[in-house]
Structure 1
Amino acid sequence: MDEQPETTQENIPISIITPLIYVGVTLSLFILFSIIYRRKRVENLSHMQPIFKTNYNSEIYNELKAKNDDPSIKKENKVHEKVLKAALLRKAVESIRRSMKLKEFESSFNKLYQLGLIGDDFYKQYEIQIKYQELEIKEIVQEVESYKKGWVQTFFPLAQEICFNEALRRRLKATDERSEVLTELWDLKT
């Protein structure tokens, strides 16, 4: 019979400080990783180009509003409230137009993304633009309510009507231009 040597285990006393140090180092590394990861994400998002060009109507309204809110400007030099309301209406019209464009192309973007024809960056840019437009509409609602309570019910239908009229005007203009080009082509052939 083979005799196996007896093995004895040595108990090494471990201080309570050792697991606490381990947990502390692990948490510190996790927090450091999280901070670095978020900074990189924010940096990448800040370098993304927006889908739409600059919203000049929004900039104009914000400048007029800032001018009125500036306490150093005299009362007679402040912008009239009707001008501010008109600028807010123009801002709302542009915001509605952009929101409608994004919703119009939503199925196309989703399909292209599912097929892998557009990259993650572009799709993320599209999603950010949707969220931005939603925030802008909420901001406009708050501004409208600050002028007059309950004005939102008449303000947004008016803004939508203006938006639809401008779209119709653009289409008619494009049709007229196309008609002129086709007429010139027809005249050249005859």
Structure 2
Amino acid sequence: MAEETDSQTAEAVKISVFTPLIYVGVMLTIFAFFSVWYRRRRVEKFSEVKPLFKENYNALIYQQLKSQYDDPNLGKDKKPHEKVLKAALLRRAVEAIRRSMKLKENEPIFNKLYQNGSIGDDMFKQLEFQIKFQEIELKEIVVECESFKKGWSQTFFPLAQEICFNEALRRRLNAMPERSENLSELWDYKIVQPSDKVAA
């Protein structure tokens, strides 16, 4: 009887060395597969989210100029000048700052509307996606700035912000005559309407 129990325990203890290794390998494979699948789903969800702003042509122009500037096959006469590249980067930064400011202005409104149930999850995801995208855009611009000259970003961003403010002020000043015409037409319409009714 004692010999039978000893033989059973001996048989139970005999486990192959490869068993835990196979188990760990299977678990790692499942984890890797799940990770890849989850990332793909997130990328698909992000690709489905429509951006709030139109396409950023300033960023596209800078990227195109940068690719030409870095191309070793192009000669010096065909490459864009460094000043042109810096000006394109400045335009890209101005647009990024403008969009970031618009998002900061509208974020409390979006939050309020979302809490009240006036907008759905899709619209709120658009806002969150755009905020993250603009943060990444600004970080990329900082990296590009520092690649030209170390410490240049400290003077670069105040200049870009000043250009952004000046352009916003210019847009408002240029829009004033059109607004005054619209208001005067509306005012004339409101004044004329009651008199027509009296005459009738």
* Same-fold status (TM-score > 0.5): yes
1:181 paired residue number: 182
CA contact (8 A) 2:49 2:125 kept: no
1:129 paired residue number: 130
Q: How far apart are the structure 1 equivalents of 2:183 and 2:93?
A: 36
Give the counterpart letter for 1:108 in structure 2.
I
What TM-score, normalized to structure 2? Answer: 0.76
Is the alpha carbon distance of 1:38 and 1:171 closer, same or farther for their aligned partners in structure 2, counting shifts above 3 Å? same
1:42 paired residue number: 43
Query: Is the counterpart of residue 171 in structure 1 residue 172 in structure 2?
Result: yes
Q: How far apart are the structure 1 equivalents of 2:33 and 2:144?
A: 40
Which has a greater percent of helix? 2
Q: How far apart are the structure 1 equivalents of 2:67 and 2:165?
A: 30
Cα distance per residue 1:113-153 (max 9 Å; x no partner):
22222222221221111111111111111111111222212
Is the alpha carbon distance of 1:184 and 1:132 closer, same or farther for their aligned partners in structure 2, counting shifts above 3 Å? same
Give RMSD over aligned pairs. 2.6
1:71 paired residue number: 72
Q: How far apart are the structure 1 equivalents of 2:72 and 2:24?
A: 54
Residue 49 (structure 1) shift: 0.9
Give the counterpart letter for 1:65 in structure 2.
K
CA contact (8 A) 2:62 2:89 kept: yes
Is the alpha carbon distance of 1:182 and 1:147 closer, same or farther for their aligned partners in structure 2, counting shifts above 3 Å? same
Cα distance per residue 1:91-133 (max 9 Å; x no partner):
0000000000111111111122222222222212211111111
Q: Which segments of 5 or more consecutive residues in structure 2 lack a partner in the other structure?
A: 1-10, 193-200
Cα distance per residue 1:127-186 (max 9 Å; x no partner):
111111111111111111111222212111111111011111111122211112334455
CA contact (8 A) 2:146 2:152 kept: yes
Residue 28 (structure 1) shift: 6.3
CA contact (8 A) 2:68 2:79 kept: yes
Q: How far apart are the structure 2 equivalents of 1:140 and 1:40?
A: 28
What TM-score, normalized to structure 1? Answer: 0.79
2:197 paired residue number: none
2:107 paired residue number: 106
Aligned-residue identity in percent:
66
SS class of match (1:75): coil
Give the counterpart letter for 2:168 in structure 1.
A
Give the counterpart letter for 1:175 in structure 2.
M
